[in-house]
Amino acid sequence: MQPKDTAEDIVIAGAGLAGLAAALGLHRKGVRSVVLESSPMLRASGFAFTTWTNAFRALDALGVGDKIRKQHLQAQAYVVTHPVIASATGETVREADLTQSGKRGPNEIRCVRRDLLLQALEEELPRGTIRYSSKIISIEEDGDIKILQLADGSVLRAKVLIGCDGINSVVAKWLGLAKPSFSGRSAARGFAHYPDGHGFEPKFLQFVGDGFRAGMLPCNQTDIYWFFTWTPSEHDKGVDESAVKMKQFVLDKLRGSKVPEEALAVIAKSEMSDVLAAPLRFRPPLSLMTASINKGNVCVAGDALHPMTPDLGQGGCSALEDGVVLARCLGEALVGDSAAVENERIEAGLREYARIRRWRSVELVATAYTIGFIQESNHAIVSFLRDKFLSGVLAGRLLKMADYDCGTLSN
Ligand SMILES: Cc1cc2nc3c(=O)[nH]c(=O)nc-3n(C[C@H](O)[C@H](O)[C@H](O)COP(=O)(O)OP(=O)(O)OC[C@H]3O[C@@H](n4cnc5c(N)ncnc54)[C@H](O)[C@@H]3O)c2cc1C
């Protein structure tokens, strides 16, 4: 059968957190959209992610917060240890209470399984909203209409194009955003399932060593997620050739830094992420200050807008914020009673979205980069200051960045 040419009002590229949040927000506002996803099914790559207070506010605005709460444990504390120091002195570098209140209300941190969150968002969308195996390969213009060429040969005409297509976004490229830069660090992630219960307390454990940082957090009573970020060197060339080699590399690094045996046992038992070693990239924050986040009836959200290093655990959380703000601004522009012609209303809605999200994006990307640099530095002075004085400040910064409210779908 010949691929067809079709027309849609609002097209969202990518069914990740940003794309599904934007589509669901628009649906709640009574506005239909179609989501084009390049994969044949939802992609839950990376297993899980730390979901902070700001993300729960966004999920509540979308009407799925309670469903996610029921499936995941609330983290009670954030415990940072430098195992080499701890083995000599017995000291924990920092323990922060994660249930204390921030300026805008109580904190809430859970380690959320990506598959469960993506499914929860998808289930609320009208059938047929997501078109799988639909990869956008090029964007052209016919007046105000965007003409999307898909990899299967079909063509789709769109009145509005929202790029939620991740770090290698074709929409960000079309807008002329700066290419993401490599931070010099990589990450590995894993997931351990204990059918009879893992017995760990709901605490976010973090181990800082020379040139690496590892974190571990239970999602629920049976699943534990962990990550490991490090600065690759000549010595570890080839560790990402197989899951077995990658896991052994992580275990060797952690064992060499005296990480407790219980934590090593979790890693030894786990399944590794499909991407064994992800290079950590970010959009230079200076470039975001003046970037064209929107142009006419096109804009970007999530990693397509603000890829960041994972040191604040905010990339996915802020993608959810983007989705809510975008749905509110675009939804109000479309269903509101302004007398302006539709095109002008769409452009004004996207301009407002870009205005709200620009500085939040700049702040998150810059803070994540700085925290990552300090936490993993093995420079003598930086690591001395970090271990003596800065750990408390860094933990406080995580909570501060999470104490943000993107608002509801109507204000
Ligand atoms: C190691 C690591 C740890 C992290 N930890 C956390 C954490 O703890 N907390 C947190 O909040 N964030 C975390 N993040 C960041 C988080 O994973 C991302 O910020 C988040 O997934 C971005 O969501 P998104 O929807 O913008 O993009 P993505 O999840 O990348 O989704 C983009 C979607 O678009 C599709 N797509 C791509 N190109 C096209 C195309 N041309 N046409 C159609 N579809 C396309 C893709 O298949 C994909 O489904 C971490 C990231 C890493 C690497």
Residue 303 above 90 pLDDT? yes
Map tokens 């007398």 to a residue: 339
* Per-residue pLDDT reduced to its tens digit, 164-175: 999 999 999 999
Tokens of 43: 């992609």
pLDDT bin (cut points 50, 70, 90) of residue 382 is low
Query: How many angstroms is it from 149 CA to the middle of ligand 1?
Result: 22
What global pTM score does this model have? 0.94
* Per-residue pLDDT reduced to its tens digit, 232-281: 988 888 898 999 999 999 999 999 888 899 999 999 999 988 788 899 99
pLDDT bin (cut points 50, 70, 90) of residue 341 is confident
- Residue 46, phi then psi, degrees to nearest 5: 100, 0
Q: Which residues pair with 191 in a beta bridge?
A: 225, 271
Percent of the chain with pLDDT over 90: 73
Tell me how far apart the alpha carbons of residues 4 and 22 are, in angstroms, rounded to a whole number. 26
Among 62, 303, 324, 364, name the best residue to mutate to test ligand 1's pocket (greatest count of ligand atoms within 8 A of Cβ): 303
Ligand 1 residue neighbourhood (C-beta within 6 Å): 13-19, 36-39, 43, 46, 49-50, 135-136, 164-166, 170, 187, 189, 227, 278, 302-304, 310, 313-317, 319
Q: Which residues pair with 208 in a beta bridge?
A: 213
- Residue nearest atom 50 of ligand 1, based on CA coordinates: 310
Query: How many angstroms is it from 17 CA to the middle of ligand 1?
Result: 7
Residue 344: C-alpha distances to residues 287, 320, 326, 330, 347 (Å): 27, 26, 16, 11, 5
HSE of 13 in the Cβ direction (CA atoms, 13 Å)? 34
Q: From the centroid of its chain, how far is CA 190?
A: 16
- Residue 404, phi then psi, degrees to nearest 5: -135, 145
